[in-house]
Amino acid sequence: MPRSVSRSSVGTGEEGDKLSLPIAEIAAAVRAREVTAVEAVTSALARIAAVDAELCAFREVWGEAAVRRAREVDVRVAAGERLPLAGVPLAVKGRYGERAADAVRLIAAGCVPVGATSVPAPGTPWQTWGLGAGGRTVNPWRADRVPGGSSAGAGAAVAAGLVPLATGADGAGSIRIPAAWCGVFGLKSTNGRLPHPDRTGLSAVGAVARRAVDLGAYWRCVAEEGDEECESVRRPLTALWSDSLGFARSDPGPALVAHGAALRLDGAGVVRLLPPDDAVVRLDDPGPAWLALRAPGAGGGGGGARGANTGGGDTAAAHRLRAANDRRLAELFSRADLLLTPTTPNPPHGHEGPGDRYSTALTWAFNLSGHPAASIPAGFGPDGCPVGLQVVARHGEEQVLLRVMAEAEEQAGLAGC
């Protein structure tokens, strides 16, 4: 439990116990009429009221609307409708998060949005922070540190137990970084797998949860698929470790903790780490290409426009770098099922900013390439803050990532806070 945020006054009683369950079990309890959706949502709202003045994870809390929607879920359940996520309290990213493709499907499945989580405000070039209704969002583990971003409130709210699930969007690490720094699980989907309005194609939908199994329930709902994995995946899953991807400079603290988590996965039989000589992980720094594709007037960077020169020398160079890294990653994934790295090269920074460090150094490569990626809680660094282990899979293999996350939690003891 995060020591910087007190939860002693919330989550007590029968409803609080229900909210501590996996989200599929919360929904099962609502469907069985053991607890109502109104009770589940009211419990979440009570947690938010008790804690969020300190945490500032929410930009808006939709109390009356959430209770009204919960009543509607209870009516649907009473009428015999089987809602897979009936009554599960949900936080959505930003003021317009209800419109996101995954949120629409979650709400249709019975989730009840209780509010909009914080995101960065204008005025900083760095996006690893958030501004809630009461001020800057704090890291639940250390109030003098940021929670990561741009899905800042999502990571903080889930880590502090205000909601069991929060949606996000990941354009450079915006789900994986707050998941890592808040000590929870985060999933970025394959770019283009689900609709996203980002003109560049660099952003993908995803979510943050305290349990790996909850991200599995999230994905089954939003992707509308079962638990089947790609038949071509080898057993056991093979993995390559890199703390730099060939260009980044990782601090020793996060790198050692993340590598220790990778060794635990190997020791538990979740993965088989390959010797470094089996495939050299050496990408070009994706930063300049990412920034060029994000620049105003650069045009689309995803989908069919991926290989096109959309004008400007920087954009043309960006496409060349992207193509070169894509070739290297294709070769890497022909030799291994997974790539493991620290989620970030640095620990959570203070509210004054990261200085000259790019916290995205190890994540935005996979927004450029489009690969699905996850952050798994790896442990704690010397500063007392959580560290994440990034796991990257082949395009379209979210189910592989979900399997690794679940086994990391169940077999290797890499659990959320």
Catalytic residue among 118, 150, 203, 242: 150
Q: Is the pTM for the entire model greater than 0.85?
A: yes
Catalytic residue among 118, 174, 242, 359: 174
List CB contacts of 32: < 8 A, sequence separation 6 or more. Answer: none
Smallest CA-to-CA distance from 239 within 335, 173, 329 is with 335
pLDDT in tens, the chain (417 residues): 575 664 333 333 444 566 789 999 999 999 999 999 999 999 999 999 999 999 999 999 999 999 999 999 999 999 999 999 999 999 999 989 999 999 999 999 999 999 999 999 998 888 999 999 999 999 999 999 999 999 999 999 999 999 999 999 999 999 999 999 999 999 999 999 999 999 899 999 999 999 999 999 999 999 987 666 555 456 789 999 999 999 999 999 999 999 999 999 999 999 999 998 877 899 999 999 999 999 887 754 433 222 223 334 589 999 999 999 999 999 999 999 999 999 999 999 999 999 888 999 999 999 999 999 999 999 999 999 999 999 999 999 999 999 999 999 999 999 977
Are 14 and 35 in contact by the 8 Å Cβ rule? The answer is yes
Alpha carbon distance 357, 395 (integer Å):
28
For residue 235 the two structure tokens come to 């057993």
DSSP readout, 129-151?
A: --EETTEE---SS-TTB---SSS
Q: What angle do CA 266, 268, 270 make, to 5 degrees?
A: 65
For residue 297 the two structure tokens come to 């007037």
Smallest CA-to-CA distance from 395 within 360, 369, 368, 364 is with 369
Kindly state the helix (H) or strand (E) to which residue 72 belongs, with its residue range: helix 63-78
Which tens digits make up the pLDDT trace of 73-97?
A: 999 999 999 999 999 999 999 989 9
For residue 43 the two structure tokens come to 């419990």
Q: Is 189 tagged catalytic?
A: no
Q: Is 118 tagged catalytic?
A: no
Catalytic residue among 93, 151, 242, 375: 93
Smallest CA-to-CA distance from 199 within 47, 301, 101, 110 is with 301
Q: Is 174 tagged catalytic?
A: yes
